Amino acid sequence: MNKQLKAYSFLVMAMSIAGSAVVAGKLIISDVPIFLAAELGILFSLPFLFFPALRQGKSMWPSDSRTHMILLAQAVFGVVLYRIFMFWGLKYTSATAAGLVGSTAPVLIVILAVFVLCEKLSVPRIVGALCVSIGISVMNILPFLDDSTEAANAFMGNSLVMIAVFCEALFSVMSKSRCQPMSALLRAAIVSLYAFLCLLPLALYDACHYDFAQITTPSLLCLAYYGFFVSFLSYVFWFKGVASVPAGIAGLFTGFVPLSSVFFSRLILGEEITQAHWIGLFFVLTGIVYPCVPKHFLKYNPLKCIRKKYSCSSRLTLKWSIFKR
């Protein structure tokens, strides 16, 4: 498989799992406090991350302070703050709406990649960002025009989710920061460990005021899913994919988050999917695919090729007629 295509596949799998995390989070926070839920999700993932990472040997672990600062910042923004604001927002809004608000991430990542990493803002990326923006507008504005009774709670929840998405965008851009080379598994393990330590005081506070007998079986299963798939596989897939593509292109793949979240919200939670959702998803997927199309396909012009072929054949005919004379 082509290296770039393989990277795209990793990014698709990572963001599809991230979309399902919205549904899992909606089920978890119905029984578990926010900080404790975020901490337990990380706790479930640590064994899967650290046992393979420890086998790589101490020589593979980062030794410079700059790398550890970048990983700590990724832990704070991409794990701690992202989960706190996402879980908090899910208390006020639906999983479908939260997933759709999550589609703003590609636009934020493209903008941050330009200003922070000085990446070039090419025409395909601009078109992709505009398509995603149109999809966001359709999915988030039209549904609220039909029902204004829940607008206040929805606005509150979607605003909190938007803050979480901004934190996720910072996490994605920081993935391209220059630091000591390391495997995707090791990077995910260290980021998760830093996130676990940052959340520990808040989680202990929640645990002291919580009756663990209230945790239901579905919540435990969702926590296990969150730990293995969301906190383990999705981060490993993301770091593997983002290592081979620009941050702006990788950011567009976060558009798979709303696609996945809408699908699982309908399948598991039974939430309604309107026509506006489907139209919005079409624009989001268009915004993802277009910038990833190889340049030679974008430059292909059938009419130009036909004219060129016709002109070449005309010259050959003229030369042949002169030769015959």
Residue range 99-110, pLDDT digits in tens: 777 766 766 777
- The Cα 187–Cα 191 span in angstroms is 6
Q: What is the pLDDT of residue 324?
A: 44
Query: Any residues with CB less than 8 A from the CB of 258 and at least 6 apart, and which?
Result: 19, 99, 100, 102, 103, 139, 280, 281, 284
96 band by pLDDT with thresholds 50, 70 and 90: confident
Reading the block at residue 315, the tokens are 């010259």
pTM: 0.73
Q: Is the pLDDT of residue 138 over 90?
A: no
Q: Phi and psi dihedrals of 119, rounded to 5?
A: -75, 150
Say yes or no to pLDDT of 157 above 80: yes
**Percent of the chain scored above 70 by pLDDT?**
77
pLDDT in tens, 159-188: 898 898 888 888 877 876 777 777 777 888
Confidence (pLDDT) at 286 = 79
Q: DSSP H helical segments within the chain, as ranges?
A: 3-28, 34-54, 65-74, 82-90, 95-101, 105-116, 123-146, 151-174, 184-208, 217-225, 234-242, 247-252, 256-264, 275-292, 295-298, 302-324
162's tokens: 């938007």
Better-predicted residue by pLDDT, 218 or 313: 218
Chain position carrying tokens 């010259």: 315
SS (H, E, C) 97-163: HHHHHHHHHHHHHHHHHHHHCCCCCCHHHHHHHHHHHHHHHHHHHHHHHHCCCCHHHHHHHHHHHHH
What pLDDT shows up at residue 57? 57
CA distance 125 to 166: 19
Q: Which of 32, 136, 17, 21 is nearest to 83 (CA)?
A: 21
Name the one residue in this structure whose structure tokens are 């990572």: 14
Q: CA–CA separation, 24 vs 46, rounded Å?
A: 18
In percent, the amount of the chain with pLDDT more than 90 equals 9
Q: What pLDDT digit, counting tens, does each position of 42-90 carry?
A: 888 888 887 777 776 555 677 788 888 989 999 999 889 998 999 999 8
Whole-number average pLDDT of the chain? 77
Distance CA 242, CA 264 (A): 25
- Decide if pLDDT at 322 tops 60: no
Query: Does position 25 have pLDDT exceeding 70, yes or no?
Result: yes
Name which residue leads in pLDDT, 71 or 238: 71
